[in-house]
């Protein structure tokens, strides 16, 4: 009886927290679907705002998707080997590198963006391309990739596993492909999930880095809120959700850890 | 069994020292040879350099400058492990968690580009040999410790290595399982005729498995020899005390008699300068009443073990003598016993 009471209490608390998080989202989405937000839901439901957003901001959506995928590719190529090296070589240098990697996360995005503009702003071709924003996003998201892969690599006895593979004749590349990568799969997937989500939603830095031709989804969202009707802004939020939810769900499904079964000692 | 291809490997170490980057001197210069097809056990206390020596042979560590590792007379010192074709069994097994049992066993063959059919056949053969065929599709985290050990052995042997190196393969298992697996490993090594190096700090394991034992102490080889030789003719006091129990009497030898506090021991071949004699518990016994003997002591403790009684007999030395008595009688604390020593078991160091 006592346990049941505790369970109900926990359930209630969880539901309250969920409601706290989800209700604003639902309200915002509803606002994007009502004819007139100030009149309320009685004014009727419409897709007009969504269509308006699609027509006006389609490009920001495609840019954001492209940007986050490019960001993912770059962080994978840079981050996974970096995590591997950090996991393998525990020296003062690698530990210092590990600490340095959190810098872009700790420093406000605006500051990083400013530094990028000061450094590369004069390269006009680069300044106006989406590559400029990509650099910012990579700086910001790389630590998340490295950390999440490193966490998995540190939890397994990588050195001995590699020695085992080497004793069976596997050189460096086969080892990396067959042993290292598969065993940090969950870290790579978790890192990818973070990188794509963070890149999609990044606003601080992107707001400073963008040009009228390189507007990302969150920047467009700010635009819409600032200059258009609240319904359009809300419809934009809805579109943003529709974009990012399937992605999140897909990555989440991949990242699911395999269940580990315990097997008692069998004497033969 | 026909699982081994070709001739077994002879291994030699020449002047192999090892200093780690942090300055730890793990090995003093080592020289010894392992004959083709024999099972050699590295035995010694923790930290004496057994693993380091094994890793140098495997190619996982390089000896300090001047050291050489020879396989069948050919210098392989600079050859990385993946080119040495030695099978290795790690204490922690090092099985790949991302592969099934069959995947683990077949990995070495896959790396070598073996045809799928041949690979399957060989994996099946290994599964049968290690009696783990029903585990073929399990993941590693679904295996018990003993089963993992078998998979590790099968994986190392599947590629027909030139030698098999095992680093304390049974230490992580409980005593009963260790006994079964030790027997299995013993018969496996014998039937394969493969050159094998087995690292352990368990002297019983070393005695049971080794054709020869390399006893190590502080990065040096203390003695190399057959188990019987190491046990009966230890070369140093360290070897004598590390392996089995040793009794000790101090005194002096004169005219074929060794005199000590316990009395006089007739010993025709006694070296004139002997001040200390060593012998095993099985070489001393409680004398029968009609026997003539010049040695005696008092029982300090007696433990009845069923088939025998372990006696601790005080003879005025630093440590009491240990005697395994099969006499069909009880011993009392403080009782005086007369002792007989078989001179053939005496060792002077
Ligand atoms: N990578 C390393 N760096 C520094 N010192 C090391 C390293 N590996 C081993 N040592 C040192 O070298 C010595 C020999 O170690 P080794 O592992 O060969 O001992 P061992 O005989 O296998 O001991 P155990 O029975 O405990 O496994 C030890 O003093 C150990 O601390
Ligand atoms: Mg060791």
Q: What pLDDT digit, counting tens, does each position of A69-83 carry?
A: 999 999 999 999 999
Q: Is the CB of B26 under 6 A from ligand 1?
A: yes
Judge contact between B167 and B152, C-beta under 8 A. Answer: no
Q: What is the pLDDT of residues A166-203, one digit of tens each?
A: 999 999 999 999 999 999 988 898 888 889 888 888 88
3-state DSSP of B225-260: ECHHHHHHCCCCHHHHHHCCCCEEEEEEEECCEEEE
The reply to whether residue B180 touches residue A268, judged by beta carbons under 8 angstroms, is yes
Q: Is pLDDT above 50 for B152? A: yes
pLDDT at position B293: 83
Return the residue in A159, A166, A167 with the most chain B beta carbons within 10 A, the one to mutate for interface testing. A167
Contact state of A164 with B131 under an 8 Å Cβ cutoff: no
Secondary structure (3-state) at B324: strand
- Taking the CA of residue B54 as reference, the ligand 1 atom at the shortest distance is 18
- The sign of the dihedral angle between the CA atoms of B211, B216, B219, B221 is negative
Give the burial class of A259: count Cβ atoms within 10 A of its Cβ; 0-12 exposed, 13-18 middle, 19 or more buried. exposed
Nearest CA in chain A to B154: A168
Q: Does A260 sit within 8 Å of B94, measured CB to CB?
A: no
Kindly list the residues from chain A whose CB atom is less than 8 angstroms away from the CB atom of residue B143.
Answer: 263
Our answer on whether the CB atom of B234 is closer than 6 Å to any ligand 1 atom is: no
More confident residue, B294 or A183: A183
Least-confidence region, from A108-122, A158-172, B104-118: A108-122
Asked if residue B55 has its Cβ within 6 Å of ligand 1, the reply is: no
- For A184, which residue in chain B has the nearest alpha carbon? B98
A198-219, pLDDT tens digit by residue? 888 888 888 878 777 788 888 8
pLDDT tens for residues B41-91? Answer: 999 999 999 999 999 999 999 999 999 999 999 999 999 999 999 999 998
Chain A residue numbers touching B60 (CB-CB < 8 A): 163, 166
The nearest CA of chain B is from the CA of A144 a distance in Å of: 24
The Cα–Cα gap between B69 and B56 comes to 8
Q: What is the mean pLDDT of chain A?
A: 82
- Name the band, by pLDDT with cuts 50, 70 and 90, for residue A254: low
Which pTM was predicted?
A: 0.81
Which of A153-157, A238-242, B62-66, B304-308 is the least confident region?
A238-242
Torsion of CA B337, B341, B345, B349, to 10 degrees: 80
Check residues B27 and B294 and name the one with the higher pLDDT.
B27
Q: pLDDT above 90 covers what percent of chain A?
A: 22
A132-136, B62-66, B144-148, B295-299: least confident range? A132-136
User: Do the Cβ atoms of B108 and A168 come within 8 Å?
Assistant: yes
Residue whose CA is closest, atom 14 of ligand 1? B49
Is residue A165 less than 8 Å (CB to CB) from chain B?
yes
User: Domains along chain A?
Assistant: 1-46 (no CATH), 58-267 (1.10.3720.10)
Contact B90 A156 (CB under 8 A): no
How many A/B residue pairs have CB atoms within 8 Å?
Answer: 83
ipTM at complex level: 0.84
Report CA A240 to chain centroid distance, whole Å: 14
Q: How far is CA B183 from the centre of its chain?
A: 14
- Position with higher pLDDT, A146 vs B254: A146
User: Is the model's pLDDT at B2 over the cut of 70?
Assistant: no
Report the run of H or E that residue B277 belongs to, with start and end: strand B276-279
Highest mean pLDDT among A23-32, A201-210, B158-167: B158-167
Put simply, the answer to whether A169 touches B176 (Cβ < 8 Å) is no
pLDDT score of B112: 93
To the nearest whole Å, the CA of B96 is away from the closest chain A CA by: 7
Arithmetic mean of pLDDT, B180-184? 88
Least reliable range by pLDDT among A124-128, B141-145, B239-243: A124-128
CB contact under 8 A, A169 and B112: yes
A255: pLDDT strictly greater than 70:
no
Cα separation, A202 vs A216, in Å, equals 9
Tell me the shortest Cα–Cα distance from B14 to chain A, in angstroms: 22
- Token pair in block for residue A195: 């990188």
Radius of gyration of chain B (CA): 25
User: Of B21, B96, B160, which to mutate for an interface test with A (greatest number of A Cβ within 10 Å)?
Assistant: B96
Cα gap B8→B194, rounded to integer Å: 6
Which one is predicted more confidently, B3 or B306? B306
User: Any CB–CB contact under 8 A between A238 and chain B?
Assistant: no
From B13, B17, B18, B20, give the residue whose CB has the most ligand 1 atoms within 8 Å, as the site to mutate.
B20
pLDDT value for A65: 86
- Cβ atoms of A146 and A187 within 8 Å: the answer is no
């Amino acid at each position: 009886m006592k346990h049941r009471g505790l369970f109900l209490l926990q359930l209630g608390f969880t539901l309250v927290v969920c409601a706290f998080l989800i209700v604003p989202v639902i309200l915002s989405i509803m606002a994007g679907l009502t004819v007139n937000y100030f009149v309320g839901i009685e004014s009727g439901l419409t897709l007009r705002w969504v269509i308006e957003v699609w027509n006006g901001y389609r490009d920001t959506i495609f840019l954001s998707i492209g940007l986050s995928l490019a960001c993912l590719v770059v962080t994978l190529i840079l981050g996974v080997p970096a995590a591997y090296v950090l996991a393998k070589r525990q020296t003062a240098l690698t530990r210092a590198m590990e600490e340095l990697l959190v810098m872009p996360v700790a420093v406000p995005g605006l500051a990083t963006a400013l530094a990028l503009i000061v450094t590369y702003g004069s390269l006009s071709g680069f300044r106006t391309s989406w590559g400029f924003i990509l650099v910012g996003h990579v700086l910001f998201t790389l630590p998340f990739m490295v950390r999440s892969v490193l966490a998995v690599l540190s939890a397994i006895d990588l050195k001995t596993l590699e020695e085992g593979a080497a004793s069976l004749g596997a050189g460096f590349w086969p080892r990396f492909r067959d042993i290292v990568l598969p065993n940090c799969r969950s870290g790579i997937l978790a890192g990818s999930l973070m990188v794509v989500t963070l890149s999609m939603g990044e606003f601080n830095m992107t707001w400073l880095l963008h040009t009228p031709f390189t507007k990302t989804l969150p920047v467009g969202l700010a635009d819409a809120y600032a200059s258009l009707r609240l319904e359009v802004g809300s419809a934009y939020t809805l579109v943003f959700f529709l974009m990012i939810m399937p992605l999140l769900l897909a990555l989440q499904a991949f990242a699911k850890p395999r269940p580990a079964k315990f097997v008692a000692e069998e004497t033969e | 069994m026909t699982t081994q291809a070709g001739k077994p490997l002879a291994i030699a170490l020449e002047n192999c020292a090892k200093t780690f980057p942090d300055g730890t001197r793990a090995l003093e210069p080592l020289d010894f040879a392992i004959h083709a097809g024999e099972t050699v056990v590295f035995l010694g206390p923790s930290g004496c350099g057994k693993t380091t020596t094994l890793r140098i042979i495997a190619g996982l560590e390089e000896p300090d400058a001047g050291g050489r590792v020879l396989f069948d007379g050919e210098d392989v010192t600079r050859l990385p492990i993946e080119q040495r074709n030695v099978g290795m069994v790690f204490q922690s097994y090092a099985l790949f968690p991302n592969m099934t049992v069959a995947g683990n066993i077949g990995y070495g063959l896959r790396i070598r580009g073996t045809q799928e059919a041949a690979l399957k056949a060989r994996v099946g053969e290994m599964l049968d040999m290690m009696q783990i065929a029903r585990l073929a599709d399990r993941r590693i985290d679904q295996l018990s410790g003993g089963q993992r050990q078998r998979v590790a052995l099968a994986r190392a042997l599947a590629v027909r290595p030139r030698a098999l190196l095992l680093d304390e393969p049974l230490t992580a298992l409980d005593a009963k399982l260790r006994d079964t697996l030790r027997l299995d490993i013993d018969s496996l090594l014998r039937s394969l005729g493969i050159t094998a190096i087995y690292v352990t700090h368990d002297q019983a394991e070393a005695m049971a498995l080794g054709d020869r034992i390399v006893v190590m102490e502080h990065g040096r080889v203390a003695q190399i020899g057959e188990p019987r030789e190491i046990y009966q003719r230890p070369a140093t006091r360290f070897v004598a005390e590390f392996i089995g129990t040793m009794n000790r009497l101090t005194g002096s030898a004169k005219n074929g008699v060794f005199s000590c506090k316990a009395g006089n021991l007739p010993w025709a071949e006694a070296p004139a300068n002997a001040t200390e004699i060593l012998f095993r518990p099985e070489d001393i016994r409680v004398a029968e009443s009609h026997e003539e003997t010049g040695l005696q002591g008092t029982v300090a403790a007696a433990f009845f073990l069923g088939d025998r009684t372990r006696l601790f007999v005080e003879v005025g030395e630093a440590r009491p003598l240990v005697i395994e008595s099969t006499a069909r009688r009880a011993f009392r604390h403080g009782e005086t016993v007369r002792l007989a020593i078989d001179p053939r078991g005496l060792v002077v160091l």
